Structure 1
Amino acid sequence: MTIAIRAFDPGSPTAATDSEAAAEVLRAALPYLVVTPRTLGWQVANSPAAQHHRLLLAEEDGRLVGAARTGIYYDSSEPGQAYLNLYVHPELRGRGAGRALLAAGEAYVTGLGARTNFCWSLDDEHSIAFAERNGYRRGRSAHFQRLPLTDGSLPPLPPVPPGVEVRTGTSFGDDLREIWAADNETSGDVPDDVDPAPIDYDVWLAQYWEHPEHDRELTSVVTVDGVVAALSFAITDGASRYMSGLAGTRRAYRGRGLAKLAKSSSLHRARAAGYTEAFTNNDAGNEPMLAINRWFGYERCATEIRWVRELTG
């Protein structure tokens, strides 16, 4: 068995085959994600230059058995922080692909000047042992949750208060600065080991709003007296799977149930569009959002752990 590591090249003649195989590995390793081959290639080709995003592929005797997404947290308020998330097909663990991907990824981000590396893994015995064996220490935890959309369990839409309007992402035309400002404000309050800095409008537009998995018709934006107050981003695979991106409320409008209203509207439209299951992921300490998801009927399906290691020295 020979493990070879190479970087995905979106201009290669094998790019389509590679992205299909990598997406299959990611879905097998972490079945709670919404990921498509198109997105994997798009991220490599379109991520900001400062992110240095790279998709590493692990092959065993010519077969793709693992992948890693790595780069720099370009939007962190603290410089020198990197990410390296590994995915190995669960039937092919323990054969060296994870170690090879980790070594290649750490060398890559260290060469970019990274001092600290963050990784996510599932909270299982194999992943924990791998992380600890390689010098990583445990950070935050987060919960994946699943909601079936075909069994009638989705609660009815909450009533819309006077002065409140629920709109789709497509209804705002080309000027999205109010949504951008609300996204920056709400995402800054999400618990995280990496503190995000505000994202410039043009970067946000290209990386989030125009992301190929972002479904603007299913994204909900709640306004109060015409001002954007809450939102719920919709991520889909274009087939059966829906995942919530950021869902939250601006600070001045919290405590009125607006995030629940935004997310409910998005989920109802997703069900009507034929999506059969919804996923979400929340920090284990984000009790307000976890409570909202329990109200919807989401059930926890997995927990993941954030790991960190200092790369200097």
Structure 2
Amino acid sequence: MYQQPIFLQPVFQERIWGGQKLQTEFHYDIPYQHTGEAWVISAHPNGPSVIKNGPLAGKTLKDAWEAYGELFHKAVDNDEAYPLLVKILDAANDLSVQVHPDDTYAREAENQPYGKTECWYVLSADEGAEIIFGHHAKTKEELQTMVADGKWDTLLRRVPVKAGDFVYVPSGTIHAIGKGIVILETQQSSDITYRVYDYDRTDAAGNKRELHLAAAVEVTTVPHQTPNYNQVETKEDGLTARQLVSEKYFTVYHWQLDGETEQVRQADFLQISVITGEATVTIDGQTFAVVKGDHFIIPATVDRFGFTGTAECIVSYPS
């Protein structure tokens, strides 16, 4: 029986808005001057993570999901894709204003298994940093007109953020991460983005990036709906666990570890990202050191594990 964490190697993505903070804040060996994203737990074909340890070392998470379903409590007849994707994003500049479709639209219009509902935990933010979250249009017709006329200041809702903030972004929500923000994103395993506005930026060849206005207007929720989610905090031994969100696609927690705790795995598998500090994971008498920037899965074959140290983690699993 597989009795160890599954550690994963990040996959880096170059982005026009990316920077260097994935190196300076997480000590990753980034390959690009404008590294915008680290896909840290990913089985998506556009950037599958490689397993770093154990008997599956060198295989991708996608390989493990498809060939070793018992690690995820996956039914033998389940042919769906791995459901979640975890990223760290460094917004050295503003991201484009965008929106994502739901599952139904993704399957019918894009022949993809999942739409994209996501959530953000803000790891750091410059003073005065803002996100775009939602819009002020009351009808689809008003949204279409304001987009066509470029009335961005009137249309878009801007919200200030700081380190430690959490934002839940259901599919159909117009959004953008602003300059000077680093986030950890937990999302459905989807790479479908409909770009609404990109500040008229051009790439190195002088070309503007493609917009997807018709599809964006079609999938946007109108009027904007700010989601409600109850955050519940529990304290046990050396662990303070705050449930950030629990909804249709995923459940996400913030863990503050100060000492020692023993955890019983209460989901099919757990995804854990260490965002500050260092700790040790103990499974069946074996210990594994983890530090800021490590990302790993507690598989379904591990019923309980010890966790000791001083660290913050974002923990997620499919709902």
Provide TM-score, normalisation by structure 1.
0.30
Higher relative contact order (CA 8 A, sep 6+): 1
Provide TM-score, normalisation by structure 2.
0.30
In terms of fraction of residues, the more helix-rich structure is: 1
In terms of fraction of residues, the more strand-rich structure is: 2
